[in-house]
Amino acid sequence: METVNGLFKTECTRTTVFHHGPFRTLSDVEFATAGWVDWYNNRRLHGPLGLLTPVESETLHYEALAREPEPAK
């Protein structure tokens, strides 16, 4: 959990990637947090997943489970 908190602080609150300018209201913080969580869970490239996004990896996983096994010869 500490790693995720550190990533959030570094990537979301200490940069302007997910917000423009300083936070002025709670809504500014909530909007930036929502953007970061969406990116972190859905769009970031993940090294252990072969540089796929989590969504792409999950889709491939469930497609593989749904494939019919090839008949034995």
The band of 1, judged by pLDDT with boundaries at 50, 70 and 90, is low
Domain ranges of the chain: 24-65
pTM above 0.85, yes or no: no
44: its two tokens: 């970031």
Which residue reads 């570094």 in tokens?
10
Q: What is the mean pLDDT of residues 57-67?
A: 92
Nearest Cα to Cα of residue 40 among 70, 10, 61, 60:
10
d(CA 60, CA 66): 10
CA distance 21 to 65: 45
Report DSSP state, residue 50: T
Reported as a single tens digit per residue, the pLDDT across 24-59 is: 999 999 999 999 999 988 899 989 999 999 999 999
Q: Closest Cα to residue 23, out of 36, 11, 14?
A: 14
Confidence (pLDDT) at 20: 86
